[in-house]
Chain A
């Protein structure tokens, strides 16, 4: 049993409000031999500083920065230890202090959390977060082995050397307990790849049908290739500032109301049961019937306590009462279709056991109550791991600033990456969104962050 003491569930607090002012991306590719990692990070930073309507020129901006946070998942992939020192130099930020953050797939979220802590405490007032991953130095099979090095090397990695298999074990158990139609899972892959179709940044866009996904080859049953995220090369940058600095930089600052983290065992096997930690939109009655009344058999094998913990803290910190009502856009870490459904439950979009309703009801779609992964997500657009959590927040920022079309609809954005804007391109700008959320997620749920941004 996990028992919380009085300090364990303290709601985090920022001593000073934290703002997000600008974001920049590269496009994302399976291989990117044309540009080295330093260049990709520079490109994303230049977009953030030069193309976000900032009120200062790049030179003046450089003189305002006082701390930097770097975000890379695996030194294995980049084959360059202390890569942050090199990138920091190439970005021209020496001799300012900096840190490199590492929490697996949630590295991007954790890096933004670290930057927010610096701003909130007053330690710094202008902080770029620079995330990247270079996953094209090894074959896909070796890449999967590297990623599986982020499972337990003593007792688990040898069993497959493949993260999709570890998620497939959870997926099978989730399906055994909840019987979600595979069609519903397939719909997530179809939706996110379609969203990616409208993004010039996307690596794996496409107009697929549910049948395409179901008939696709299986990686580890029940997951098909089309239900799994891409492996990418690319970078993303988000710039955080305190209130005064934010207003000096932009007329459209967005407040980072909360960003909180949770954790759970690296091995799914070792997860001990406890009573469900309730979110503000749940009560004891919500779970009266759950899992044949065995409410204490949670999180079991198919729920992410780390995600629930992060959402619990962030919702209470930002005053969220009901996520589907209170958020206008959401980015989830859709590494696999099944983990997306699990996450819907962990972050309270639906009670446990009913996550699939978030898709089947239409809520998750562009015209639905809470459009989810309008960016194309990890399945359609990118998973350059260290950049991913940063990328999600850049896309949420642009949605809240009303800049989706600027960055996705301009034909020049497409030609920049050697692509042609599709003739049937459609704007996925949400209608006057006020509040957005992004979930950054590692391992089989080892680290999760929940970030909430709000237009003032």
Chain B
């Protein structure tokens, strides 16, 4: 029995030179592994960071985003709640975001400084106008979580 030609044809965008359109429809499976607890924590309005559990580790810093293993000694880390009030370290309002951005253009992106945390967590400001040193508090998307970093946002404290 003869095999049929494909039923789905690629659209011709230009004839000379020839350009066709290849469709792609599929999803990626994103495994958080040892960092999953952070996103589960957001659902419970918790900001979970990690600290090295090795008593001999010289640094023992509080990491947020969390790390499952310590970058200084490779020992396992333990989960610690980070403060939910911090200050804006830097900010930029993104007028032209990329294709996959799920928030509205004009969303202020912020980096938040939290006491005791060794990083400047990148996030977004849900309400208000951003300014350097502005005090902000964490808010959480618990109603219909995306289970991404977008479930955490900040508002003026």
Contacts and interface: CB of A to CB of B under 8 A. Distances in A.
A173 B150 contact: no
A219 B150 CA distance: 21
B32 A141 contact: no
A145 B92 contact: no
B149 A270 contact: no
B111 A269 contact: yes
A139 interface: yes
Interface stretch (A125-133, A157-165, A341-349, A422-430): A157-165
Interface stretch (B4-12, B76-84, B116-124, B134-142): B116-124
Interface in B56-107: 59, 61, 63, 65, 89-102, 107
Given A161-B100, A176-B90, A33 B19 contact: yes
Contact of A165 (B65, B94, B102, B121): B94
Contacts of B119: 267, 269-270
Contact of B90 (A139, A144, A152, A170): A170
Given A169-B111, A219-B96, A272-B118, A159 B91 contact: no
A401 B122 CA distance: 46
A272 B63 CA distance: 11
Contacts, number: 124
Contacts of B90: 169-170, 172-173, 176, 301
A141 B95 contact: no
A285 interface: no
B122 A176 contact: no
A267 B150 contact: no
A221 B95 CA distance: 8
A173 B148 contact: no
A159 B95 contact: no
Given A168-B94, A220-B96, A158 B132 contact: no
Contacts of B65: 152, 154-155, 267, 269-270
Interface in B1-41: 14, 17, 19, 22, 30, 32, 35
B155 interface: no
Given A165-B109, A169-B109, A221-B92, A154 B97 contact: no
Contacts of B92: 165, 168-169, 171-172, 220-222
A-B interface, 4 closest residue pairs, ranked by CB to CB distance from nearest: A161-B98, A168-B92, A144-B98, A173-B90
28 contacts: A33-B14, A33-B17, A141-B98, A141-B99, A144-B97, A153-B30, A154-B32, A157-B100, A158-B150, A159-B109, A159-B122, A159-B123, A159-B150, A160-B97, A160-B101, A160-B107, A160-B109, A161-B101, A165-B97, A172-B91, A173-B111, A217-B95, A218-B95, A220-B94, A268-B120, A269-B119, A301-B90, A301-B111
